[in-house]
Amino acid sequence: MQTTTKTAKEIYNDVKNNPARKRFGFGNKAVLVNIDPQKAYTCTDEFATAYETDPRQMEYINEMSKTFRSLGWPVVWTHVAYMESAEDAGIWGTRTDTPDSLQNIKFDSRRSEFDDRLEIDYVKDVVYLKKMPSAFFETQLQSLLVWHQVDTVILTGGSTSGCIRATAVDSLSRGYRTIVPEECVADKHESYHYANLTDLSLKYADVLTLAEVNQWLTQQQGK
């Protein structure tokens, strides 16, 4: 095992500035999957479970969502919420039991609500309730992607080390080109955030700047 005195952010920047692997690249058509941008994870002034990496994250997600709609490409939003008994959280909900615990994000609670800054089109967009980290796990996401004949999955939301990572691994495992715009994902601590961006970029996804993603999307609009 290699050892280092560098921070996770420094290691990420080294990998970013000196790429050793070729990119998976974009395909022909993409889906935008916005993972759990709900108040439990975005309202830092209200909930201890919330986090913020780039303060403009919600703005970036809104703008990308608009672009996807203009292309006629699918926009997906996921969120988590659980029954009063928490039995639908399964073993994942057994490690702690505090007001901040995952399984205590109850239906119709503020923690379960999408962030007020988001511009969700409830007519055109798809909203999935998920129970586990991956947006693919026991949701209809796979069927939606088959219907839309997409080959590229673009992920935003959080957390980088949790649901983003889990969804990226599942996405790659299903044969999709997977893209993570780095300004559009967030985590509780920069160490977790950058360590997982590094691992994602080395193994499972293309971690790109938002500018690179938007450039590709603009090219698609011009076709």
- The tens-digit pLDDT sequence of the chain (223 residues) is 999 999 999 999 999 999 988 999 999 999 999 999 999 999 999 999 999 999 999 999 999 999 999 999 999 999 999 999 999 999 999 999 999 999 999 999 999 999 999 999 999 999 999 999 999 999 999 999 999 999 999 999 999 999 999 999 999 999 999 999 999 999 999 999 999 999 999 999 999 999 999 999 999 998 7
State the pLDDT at residue 20. Answer: 86
Q: Which two tokens stand for residue 35?
A: 């993972």
Q: Which CATH number fits domain 25-221: 2.60.120.430, 3.30.559.10, 3.30.1130.10, 3.40.50.850?
A: 3.40.50.850
User: DSSP strand E in the chain: where?
Assistant: 30-35, 75-80, 126-130, 152-158, 177-181, 185-186, 206-208
What is the Cα Rg of the chain in Å?
A: 17
Q: Which two tokens stand for residue 145?
A: 């992607």
Domain extents for the chain? 25-221
pTM strictly above 0.85? yes
Active site residues: 163
| Tens-place pLDDT, residues 174-212 | 999 999 999 999 999 999 999 999 999 999 999 999 999
